[in-house]
């Protein structure tokens, strides 16, 4: 989201500085792992669908601009018992927004896509426009696009603190200090540390993904295997065809529900992580359950209601922020980058983000103890730096 915000502001002619704590790209946060699902059928809430339509447009646009293939269409499957919220929510979003779709049984899904072995009576919502994004390439495409429009991007520069000024902000890093008119924060698991209004509302969680070598690889190719979200007895799971790693990729939402500090996250994977995931694959994807090719950790950053937070700071309107995204945000990074550019420029956006306002979650605000004052409202510069700040890239540790 930060890399996209840098791009859209720079393309509009704004002077932009993007700051990233780690590398571009990197594997320390929530935007790595070769693939991220994108889907139009959205059981989380039907109001996401309009944002998704714009996200698809913007992904295709940056894909054309960069010359990299970023979006892969495979179709998507949302499945579970007939009365489950995953299936019913996806179906309702398709009907409400007139999205092309089919409803099939688990038995029919197996006939069409033999890699799936769901209970025969489960229902599956099949939507043809689902697929996956390649997150590392997406981030690099937005960063190089921003640079081509004049943005300055710094990697391996950790932000230590920010403070409001009259008419602007000051940001101090481990390499310098910068002043600007506006600040955008998309710090993912570090949001709660940088934004007091999100303290306790942006909760990082350890997540684990597995890649297993299929014993029938022809059943798990992108052309034969749609991405999925499944609600089964073992929990809610998501997965992908083989791509980037010689294995079928999947994970369990909220894995072991381990609340973590992003600075001390256990980044190792363990036998019990693998066993949990293999048990699921053995039951529902037995032809995908060969030798383990890889296991990786990442982070979700969850809100109490699992919806996003996209808003202006309630005390300092020159500061805007996006994320946490509760494990389902990457697909929106393109359109949220556009939204953050709008908020930085005008404080408003044409997109409907009413679902994501901070007020629905907010406790009484605790202002930072020593805000700076006495600075006039003119555009500020220090060391020749820029007018806007944005973290690069999406939902990954910046601060």
pLDDT in tens, 170-204: 999 999 999 999 999 999 999 999 999 999 999 99
What average pLDDT does the segment 22-46 reach? Answer: 93
Q: What is the pLDDT of residue 376?
A: 28
**Straight-line distance from the first to the last Cα atom of the chain, in angstroms, rounded to the nearest whole number:** 15
* pLDDT > 70: percent of the chain: 91
The percent of residues above 90 in pLDDT, for the chain, comes to 88
- On the question of pLDDT at 386 being above 90, the answer is no
Catalytically active residues, by annotation:
32, 35-36, 249, 254, 298, 331
Average confidence score pLDDT of the chain? 91
Does 246 have pLDDT greater than 70? yes
Q: What is the pLDDT of residue 350?
A: 97
The residue-averaged pLDDT of 287-292 equals 98
The pair of three-digit structure tokens given for residue 184, joined into one six-digit string = 């955008």
pLDDT higher than threshold 60 for residue 382: no
Confidence band of 222 (pLDDT split at 50, 70, 90): very high
In sequence order, the 6+-apart residues with CB closer than 8 A to the CB of 324 are 188, 189, 191, 198, 201, 202, 203, 300, 301, 302, 303, 308, 309, 395
Q: Select the more confidently predicted residue: 381 or 131.
A: 131
Confidence bin at 210 (pLDDT 50/70/90): very high
Q: What is the pLDDT of residue 363?
A: 55
Angle at 209 between CA 206 and CA 212, to 5 degrees: 160
**Main-chain phi, psi angles of 381, to 5 degrees:** -140, 150
Question: Which residue has better confidence, 374 or 72?
Answer: 72
pLDDT tens per residue, range 45-68: 988 999 999 999 999 999 999 999
Note the Cα 288 to chain centre separation in Å. 26
Question: How far, in whole angstroms, is CA 85 from its chain's centroid?
Answer: 22
Q: Is residue 79 within 8 Å of residue 123, measured between CB atoms?
A: yes
Q: What is the mean pLDDT of residues 153-178?
A: 97
Q: Is the pLDDT of residue 359 over 90?
A: yes
Q: Would you say residue 397 has pLDDT above 80? A: no
Provide the pLDDT for residue 46: 84
- Which domains, from first to last, does the chain contain? 2-26+138-202+306-391 (3.50.50.60), 36-133+203-302 (3.30.9.10)
Q: What separation in angstroms does the CA of 121 have from each of 108, 110, 124, 265, 288?
A: 10, 12, 10, 40, 22
- Stretch 233-246: mean pLDDT: 97
- pLDDT tens digit sequence for 295-328: 999 999 999 999 999 999 999 999 999 988 999 9
Instruction: Please give the pLDDT value at position 77.
Output: 98
List of residues 6+ apart from 263 with CB closer than 8 A? none
- Burial of residue 205 (CB within 10 Å: 0-12, 13-18, 19+) is buried
pLDDT band at 367; cut points 50, 70, 90 = very low
Report the distance separating Cα 178 and Cα 168, nearest Å.
Answer: 11
* Contact yes or no for 263/188 (Cβ under 8 A): no
d(CA 339, CA 1): 10
Q: Which pLDDT band holds residue 42 (cuts at 50, 70, 90)? A: very high
The Cβ-side half-sphere exposure at 130, using a 13 Å CA radius, reads 28
Backbone angles phi, psi at 310, to 5 degrees: -135, 115
Which pLDDT score is estimated for 47? 86
Whole-number pLDDT of residue 52:
98
pLDDT in tens, 110-129: 999 999 999 999 999 999 99
pLDDT band at 396 (very low <50, low <70, confident <90, very high): very low
List CB contacts of 131: < 8 A, sequence separation 6 or more. Answer: 37, 38, 39, 71, 72, 73, 74, 75, 76, 227
Answer for the pair 150, 357: CB distance below 8 angstroms, yes or no.
Answer: no
């Amino acid at each position: 989201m930060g890399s996209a915000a840098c791009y859209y502001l720079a393309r509009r002619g704004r002077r932009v500085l993007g700051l990233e704590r780690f590398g571009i790209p990197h594997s320390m946060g929530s935007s790595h792992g070769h693939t991220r699902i994108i889907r139009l059928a959205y059981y989380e809430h039907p109001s996401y669908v309009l944002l998704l339509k714009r996200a698809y447009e913007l992904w295709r646009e940056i894909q054309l601009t960069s010359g990299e293939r970023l979006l892969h269409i495979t179709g998507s499957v949302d499945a579970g018992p007939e009365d489950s919220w995953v299936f019913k929510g996806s179906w309702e979003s398709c009907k409400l927004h007139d999205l092309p779709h089919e409803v099939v049984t688990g038995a029919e899904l197996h006939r069409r896509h033999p890699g799936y072995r769901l209970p025969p009576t489960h229902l599956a919502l099949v939507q043809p426009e689902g697929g996956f994004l390649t997150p590392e390439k997406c981030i690099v495409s937005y960063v190089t696009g921003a640079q081509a429009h004049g943005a300055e991007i710094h990697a391996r520069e950790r932000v230590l603190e920010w403070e409001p000024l009259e008419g602007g902000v000051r940001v101090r890093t481990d390499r310098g200090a910068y002043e600007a008119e506006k600040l955008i924060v998309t710090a993912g698991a570090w949001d709660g540390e940088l934004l007091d209004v999100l303290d306790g509302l942006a909760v990082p969680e350890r997540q684990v993904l597995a890649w297993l070598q299929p014993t029938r690889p022809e059943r798990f190719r992108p052309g034969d295997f749609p991405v999925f979200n499944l609600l089964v007895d073992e929990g809610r799971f998501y997965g992908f065809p083989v791509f980037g790693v010689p294995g079928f990729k999947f994970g369990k939402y909220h894995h072991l529900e381990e609340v973590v500090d992003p600075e001390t996250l256990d980044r190792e994977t363990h036998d019990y992580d693998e066993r949990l995931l293999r048990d699921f694959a053995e039951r529902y994807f037995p032809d995908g359950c060969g030798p383990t090719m890889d296991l990786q950790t990442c982070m979700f950053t969850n809100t109490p209601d699992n919806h996003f937070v996209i808003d202006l700071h309630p005390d300092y309107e020159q500061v805007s922020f996006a994320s946490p995204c509760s494990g389902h945000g990457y697909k929106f990074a393109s359109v949220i980058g556009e939204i953050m550019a709008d908020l930085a420029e005008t404080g408003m956006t044409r997109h409907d983000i009413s679902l994501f306002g901070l007020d629905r979650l907010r406790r009484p605000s605790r202002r930072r103890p020593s805000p700076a004052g006495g600075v006039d409202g003119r555009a500020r510069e220090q060391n020749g730096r820029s007018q806007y700040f944005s973290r690069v890239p999406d939902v990954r540790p910046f601060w």
